[in-house]
Amino acid sequence: MKRSFTQVLLETGNGEPTLRGTVWQMGNKRIDDEHVGLILLLEDLSQAIENHADTAALSRQLDMVVEAHREHFANEEKFLRNAGYGDLERHAQEHVRLMKVIAEAARAISGMKNRVQMIGTIHELDHALLNHMIEYDMRYKAFIQDAGICDYDVWDRTPPNQPNF
């Protein structure tokens, strides 16, 4: 059974999971695809717990969750830096804080035997990530939309003459 978090954020209209509606889409395909991947990794972890995966399998899942978030945050910061996002420092500080939350959740789950507690910890992580999207990602969404760089590939270059908000 899919978690309510996954049902709220994702839809599979054409067979591929995407973020449900434009409200959750940041407007850059790479970032949106990474957000989908992070949600699916947490869904996979939840399913592994519910299916009584062994300790080694759970450990691998947890490592994947931590590493995927670390990579996504680095990618997002690179995108925002190259786009000239003026609030990057605060956003990056939030990523540092959130990585501590994710790493602590992974450590906690690793030490738990009770699967209900494990699922509860994943739900807490869901809420932390959702709050990050609402409180921080929506701010840069407005910036990249206002600057007209949603679809502009700024991963390796800066778009010309973009305002720095």
Tell me the pLDDT tens digit for each residue of 39-69. 888 888 988 988 999 989 999 999 999 999 9
Is 3.40.190.10 the CATH classification of the domain at 27-146? Answer: no
Contact 127, 4 (CB under 8 A): no
Provide the β-strand partners of residue 11.
18
Return the percent helix, strand and coil in the chain, to nearest 5. 70, 0, 25
Q: How far apart are alpha carbons 98 and 95 in whole angstroms? A: 5
- In the chain, % of residues over pLDDT 90: 31
Contact 85, 140 (CB under 8 A): yes
State yes or no: pLDDT of 28 exceeds 50: yes
Give pTM, 2 decimals. 0.80
State yes or no: pLDDT of 117 exceeds 50: yes
pLDDT of residue 155: 46
pLDDT of residue 10: 52
More confident: 33 or 161: 33
Average pLDDT, the chain: 80
- In the chain, % of residues over pLDDT 70: 76
Residues in the chain: 165
State mean pLDDT over 23-40. 80
Environment class of 31 (CB within 10 Å of its CB; exposed 0-12, middle 13-18, buried 19+): buried
State mean pLDDT over 117-139. 87
Contact 46, 124 (CB under 8 A): no
pLDDT of residue 97: 96
pLDDT of residue 12: 59
